[in-house]
Amino acid sequence: MKNKPFINRAVAPALVALTAIALGAFLYGCRKVPASAPASDKYRLVWNDDPTSTMTVAWDQHEQANATVWYGTEDHGRTFWKYGFSKKADRILDQYEMITHFAKLTNLEADKAYYFVIKDDKGVSDRYWFRTAPDTPKAFTFIGGGDTKSSDKPLEAGRASNRLVSKLRPLFVMFNGDFCSGDGTSPERWHTWLTDWHKLSTTADGRMIPVFPVHGNHENGDHANLNYIFNAPYQDNDSSRIYYSLSFGGDFFHMIALNSEIDEGGRQRAWLESDLKNNENYRFKIAGYHKPFWPHTSGKSENQYQYNQWAHLFYKYGLDVSLDGDSHMSKITYPLRPDSASAGAYMGFVRDDENGTMFLGEGSWGAFPRVNDDDKPWTLHSYSGNQIKWIHVLPEAGGQPDRMLVYTVVSSTYDENEKQTLYDAEVEALTEHNLFKIPDNIRLVENGAYGAAVKYPFHLNGVEAVANN
Ligand SMILES: [Fe+2]
């Protein structure tokens, strides 16, 4: 009698298929994450759209190798295939000896940690993470400042400020222009800035802090520079017109990037007015731009035209705080209203604690500090040294109203022989659980009777208003 085949012929193909699937699954499970790094670096994060639901990841890709961002809300370390989402670059740009990739992650959840790696055929990056902005009012901090240089002690001062970012881990950084020495067209200087930014501003646990970039005069070699480097938004289909705005926190926080290096009037003024009008309902509205109206160092020229174009709009639509740069020192003003006629008016401003805009500046993230020799009657405090502004934004709670606390954090000073002292190394690194703590060993500027924290709205300072002249 002929033996029956052990396996029925009809069943055999299915068995082969099942075995293949099981083997595939086994091999998949045994997959190893390559130990090697990808062919990329200069990683950075940018806010250039709704920060509650998007994040732009940018990097320099050294060779074509199928680069992909793998990301999700769970931390899978470098095991890229376990992340739920992946995204390739939306835009690739060959500029300044970098093949810059921009991958915009979309449909993100608000106020959430996202973990990610950048993977290509050569390897997998370290695991980084970021936090999306909240879509309801929630306390956060941010850092504002600007003006870095590309060599010597000013480069080191800028690096100290970058390291302070990693220690303070703000929600974002508003960088108010002047990234590199020169006119912003040197590949080498951009390489230095971007490498430093990634290595020094990233926290010890891999959290990367997004940048909200603003155009400065040292980017004027090409007015589209911040679009090349950060994919910064622009107006009128013209990449040399980089000014834009973002909002988050429900109706809590609106922020505007203006451009003091192109005509502040005309189309920019019209855009600013409509942006302020359309977003008037936000509880806090802030603006960043590079050049101050009236610098607090005498060597810098006044910017009357810029004042004429913007100051009245700021007041009319209730701008709360503005941040500028360029002069390489620090100032905080009282809240100011444009007014040339009233008693006490000086350079077109009068102190108005109720409805005025408070002006913060003036950009000494790294650049050598200039002397603060041009205070005005409405200057609250000025200071010469390298510094960044650390701002706590707090929604009403515990009987306290919506408010901001402005700290000036010193990163570097020079003595009379130009010997430099850096102040970042001993500063306590904050964690995700104590983001509003004043870190041990941080060096803060004391603003006279106002102490280290100048509060906004202004009456919260509890300091008697003094005559304005
Ligand atoms: Fe400047």
How confident is the model over 342-354, as pLDDT tens digits?
A: 998 999 999 999 9
On whether the CB atoms of residues 194 and 156 are closer than 8 A, the answer is no
**pLDDT(302) > 60:** yes
Q: Ligand 1 centroid to 279 CA: how many Å?
A: 28
Ligand 1 centroid–CA 319 distance in Å is 23
Measured in whole angstroms, the distance separating CA 363 from the mean position of its chain's CA atoms is 14
Specify burial of residue 174 (Cβ count, 10 A radius: 0-12, 13-18, 19+).
buried
pTM of the model: 0.93
Distance 302 CA to ligand 1 centre (A): 13
User: How far is residue 73 from each of residues 104, 126, 129, 139, 168, measured CA to CA in Å?
Assistant: 16, 16, 9, 21, 23
**For residue 409, what are the contacts with CB-CB under 8 A and spacing of at least 6?**
164, 168, 387, 388, 389, 390, 442, 443, 444, 445
Give whichever of 4-18, 217-231, 454-468 has the largest mean pLDDT.
217-231
| Residues 6+ away with beta carbon under 8 Å from 434 | none
Q: How do residues 309-356 score in pLDDT, each as one tens digit?
A: 999 999 999 999 999 999 999 999 999 999 999 998 999 999 999 999
- By CB atoms closer than 10 A (0-12, 13-18, 19+), residue 133 is buried
pLDDT exceeds cutoff 50 at 469: no
pLDDT at 31 over 90: no
Report the pLDDT value the prediction gives residue 184, as an integer from 0 to 100: 98
Task: Decide if pLDDT at 467 tops 50.
Answer: no
Distance 177 CA to ligand 1 centre (A): 7
Domain 140-461 classification at class level: alpha beta
Question: What are the start and end residues of each CATH 2.60.40.380 domain in the chain?
Answer: 40-131
Q: How far is the CA of 1 from the centre of ligand 1 (A)?
A: 98
Read off the pLDDT of residues 121-167 as tens digits, 9 standing for 90 and up: 999 999 999 999 999 999 999 999 999 999 999 999 999 999 999 99
CA 232–ligand 1 middle distance (angstroms): 19
Q: Which amino acid is at 11?
A: V
Residue 434 in 3-state DSSP? coil
Distance 218 CA to ligand 1 centre (A): 6
Nearest in space to 51 (alpha carbons), one of 244, 314, 339, 295:
244
Kindly report the backbone phi and psi dihedral angles of residue 84, in degrees, each rounded to the nearest multiple of 5, phi listed first: -75, -20
| Pairwise CA distance, residues 141 & 63, whole Å | 37
Q: Which pLDDT score, from 0 to 100, does residue 19 have?
A: 72
Ligand 1 center–CA 290 separation, angstroms: 7
Domain 40-131: homologous superfamily in CATH = Purple acid phosphatase-like, N-terminal (2.60.40.380)
Q: How far apart are the CA of 322 and the centre of ligand 1, in A?
A: 16
Tens-place pLDDT, residues 75-108: 999 999 999 999 999 999 999 999 999 999 999 9
For ligand 1, the distance from its centroid to the CA atom of residue 146, given in whole angstroms, is 9
C-alpha 349 – ligand 1 centre gap (Å): 23
Residue type for position 293: F
User: How far away, in angstroms, is 138 Cα from ligand 1 center?
Assistant: 33
Q: Residue 60, SS3?
A: strand
Distance from the CA of 307 to the center of ligand 1, in angstroms?
17
User: Where exactly does CATH 3.60.21.10 map onto the chain?
Assistant: 140-461
**In angstroms, what is the span from residue 263 Cα to ligand 1's centroid?**
16
Task: Give residue 294 CA to ligand 1 midpoint distance, Å.
Answer: 14
